[in-house]
Structure 1
Amino acid sequence: MEADERQTKRGKRHSGRLPTTWRYAVMSQFKQSVWSGSFRLFGVEVRCHTLDDGQRLIEAGSLDALITAMAAPNTHEINLAELQRFSVWQRGDGTKP
């Protein structure tokens, strides 16, 4: 097992930001992905995956960038259609948005 994977599974204390399992996710964890795509939210491309067991995952780098963009006041126009498409995917209303 590689060091990144051990760190992902074991986890460690974090600085109040994102859980270690999100920050250190490695692409090898997405081998069972049945859908991969992206959404443009708050000016950030958010890469997402749906696994064959129904779990929905957001890539760690995308999640960090999205949180940063959302925290910045009035920097990006909100695309309501894209936000709706993301919400449908996130709720699990179908595998593909």
Structure 2
Amino acid sequence: MTYLTDNHQHMRYDQALANGWSIATGLIEGACRHIIEDRFGLTGARWSPDGAEDILKLRAVVINGDLNTYLTYYKQRYLTEHHLARYDPASIPDLGLHPARPE
């Protein structure tokens, strides 16, 4: 209540609606419903906090149309961290491996 009282001069919803401007809470609620509720609101669904966070991140990437870019980034990072990191950097070309691209 203190926040609303202290900031009431900035909350001119009547003017925003009269000018056809979006009210942020509506946009945020819509995004939450679209990204979160449609997936996590399934009957009987149970999620660990880590699993839920992973699913939300992937849903956001897919919805934003960035899945291919993300997969390219992820594959390169996985290759670098889990495979190429095991080799001496000087030996990577001799072994026929592809060196990691700088991030």
TM-score by length of 1: 0.24
Higher strand proportion, which one?
Answer: 1
Tell me which structure has the larger Cα radius of gyration. Answer: 2
Higher helix proportion, which one?
Answer: 2
Q: Greater relative contact order (Cα 8 A, min sep 6): structure 1 or 2?
A: 1
